[in-house]
Amino acid sequence: MTKALGGLDCSDKNILVGLDSSDDAAVYKVDDDNALVQTVDIITPVVDDPYLYGQIAAANSLSDIFAMGAKVATAMNVVGFDGCNHPKEVLKEILEGGQNKVKECGGVIVGGHTIETPEMLYGLSVSGFVHPKKIYRNNTPKIGDVLILTKPLGMGVLTTAIKADMVDVKTINKVASILSELNYKPSNIMKRYSVSACTDVTGFGLAGHAYEMSDDKITIKFDFNSIPILQEAFDLADMGIIPAGTYNNKSYLKEKVKIKKEYEYEIFFYDAQTSGGLLIAVSQKDADALLHELKEEGYKYSSIIAQICEKEEKALVI
pTM: 0.95
**pLDDT interval class at 1 (50, 70, 90):** very low
User: What residue spans define the domains of the chain?
Assistant: 15-130, 146-317
| pLDDT 10s digits, 224-242 | 999 999 999 999 999 999 9
Confidence label for 6 from pLDDT (cuts 50, 70 and 90): low
Residues 64/200, Cβ–Cβ less than 8 Å: yes
Superfamily of domain 146-317: PurM-like C-terminal domain (3.90.650.10)
Closest CA to 275 of 120, 66, 117, 99: 66
pLDDT over 60 (residue 2): no
CATH code matching the domain that covers 15-130, chosen among 1.10.760.10, 3.30.1330.10, 3.90.1640.10, 3.20.20.410? 3.30.1330.10
Q: What does DSSP say about strands 108-116 and 15-17: parallel, antiparallel, or unpaired?
A: unpaired
| Model confidence band, residue 3 (pLDDT cutoffs 50, 70, 90) | low
Angstrom CA distances, 223 to 62, 303, 317, 318, stand at 29, 10, 9, 7
Mean pLDDT computed over every residue of the chain: 95
What number is the average pLDDT over the span 116-126? 96
